[in-house]
Structure 1
Amino acid sequence: MASNDGSKASEIFQGQVHLYKHLFAHTIDAMSLKWMIELGIPDIIHNHGQPITLPKLVSILQVSPTKVRGVQSLIHYLTHTGFFERVSILENMEEKEAYALTAASQLLVKDNNLCLVPMVEGFVDPCLAGVWSHLKKWTYEDDLTLFDVSVGSNMWEFLDKNPASNRLFNEIFAADSKMMNMALRGCNWVFEGVESIVDVGGGTGITAKTICEAFPNMKCIVLDRPSVVENLSGTNNLTYVGGDMLKSIPKADAILLKLVLHNWNDKDCRKILENCKEAISDKGSRGKVIVVDVVMNASEDEEELTGLKLLIDVRMRCFINGKERKEEEWKKLFVEAGFQSYKISPFTGYLSLIQIYP
């Protein structure tokens, strides 16, 4: 059987499956994670000490009998999407089906040092998630971001005017910083010979504190918006400075730009990099800029990784007129800002570490 345009019916039905999968996943993927966190299911399984059966889980949750089938459906879907693993256990001399945590759901255990619960809570926050309904209007508004067309201001102005959202934003990136810090602990070679460093856009200082602990003789400065750092206290080798990286950056041996440049267009990135170059101008061969960011590389990345990078690129471009870049785009920025060379190294699953030299 064929349709009027000559397409095979099987291809049309396959297209329908693909379309419906994305439509249903639009809300269910994010909200099922929210549901799992709100009920504390990862914590329950973790504290149980072994995989848990569905009857045991609904008993602990005190689920109404009328909702058990719905809970089962959610657990089955979360298993399919990789947040639980279905295993067999022996209970009362009988083999039973049970559910174990995976590497992904272990990151949602609240007493885990690498807990990413704030990431989920932030991304499903109605104030942030709601702006996506304005994509059509955004398409026809010259140079305006989704925040501009939906709430009347850019994201940074919105955060400055909304303390609760600003606090949630900082919690998101504090959680994400813990993952990056784990990677940084294996990159001591990056900081060899560095006596001072500025963490630009360093938030509440999660990364800077990790660097200070690893290198107690290194002077660390966190530069961020005044509203972020105004109530934060430093230590012997950690200082907080409120300022604007588009205007100036404190002098140091090294400047750290951790997920900063993808927030900005090329013009602003060049200005930030020029300010970084000025900040290390009197350090000679010791001076460098350390960039932790996405490098688009679809020809070498696995499909799932490429998909994540493309999603992040869409978010950056729509939310704040930022972008993710290929290596040749990074190189162009570095050269235009006056740098002579750079080196890209693997960092985390989706991030690269780029060292730039004057």
Structure 2
Amino acid sequence: MSLINQTIPNSCDDPRLDAERRSHCRLCEAQTTREGCLATTAQHWNFMTGVDASADNESCTWVFKDPQGRLTREVEFSLGLNMPFMFASRVAHDLSQVGGTEICQVQRKYEVLNPITDGYTTAYFVVYGNGQTPAGEDIPGGLRPDASCTIAMHLGQRSCTLLFTPSEKTQWSISSRDIWTQNPKVVAQLNTSRNEDCLIDPAIKCVGANPPFRYRVTITDIPCAPKQVHTQEVRCVGTMPLAVKGHMLYPKALQLTYRHTNYFLQGLSTASWTIKTANNVALLSMVMPMEAAMAICPPWGNKLVCDFDAAKSYAVPGTVCFGPACSGSIKKAAADDLVLVVTYPWYQTKEEVVPAETPPTIADIELRGWP
């Protein structure tokens, strides 16, 4: 069941549910077996596009206690478009939303259900803390924890697990997912509409991938120990795929690939980090002002090249590292708007280009900070 107005409906009679959601909710409520539950559709994500069976579908959620007595949820997705690729998590972290028991960590295990012959190569999952308080106050980027994991199906991987640790300012979390394919049939299907206007214009048909990407996520709440409270420490921990080959599951079949990422430090007074690549690929990491990082490589614009190597003069002294394994730490004023940049030193921004200077890799990154 979806997060609505920052809270989770607790029954199918909740007045905030529309008729369609209420109907699906009652179908889910009627299921008495795990198999029946996961085989029943709880929600169609892209009902405006007319894609129907190839749209993004979410199953009912099977809820149970694991052998340790921890509340666990199991849900399956079938994605023809992966839109939206980002959505509010089903797990809230404040006391009023979890039945009087604080949740100190949330474990998520993702399992790919497609055979490798379907041509999906990489899946990247991220969970991160909310950016605003329930009162609408912005939360500095450095105070938003996140956790991520990557499944490299082309390397024989079938699952990954992340551990999300809410900090004291985390009321709920946001989930996102990116999937890449090298199946030419799927790419051709996604390219049929030529643009993503089909997502909002019912007159244009989005053609979803067939076969769709299918996965299961098992979410386990890890309760706080007696008298334990949410930590002030902010943890950003996980793995990230860089320079992935192939096309992203999305209308227009984007050849989108990550070549760098920023970890926000505003709101933190101390931070430490470690970075390691899976196959000895050298990356550049450094701390610099957010404004400088955006100028070097703006997320939107017409810059042809992102040249971080030439911009090391903007870095905080002592934070620059280049290699397959880097670590560092910093003390700063909490208000300073700095970012930890992890990047290839130089690359062309054209998405179709995957040249020698950006060899594919998976980066294992851990950042821990304190306000």
TM-score of Structure 1 vs Structure 2, range by shorter chain: under 0.3
Larger Rg: 1
Normalising by structure 2, we get a TM-score of 0.26
Give 1 or 2: higher helix fraction.
1
Give 1 or 2: higher strand fraction.
2
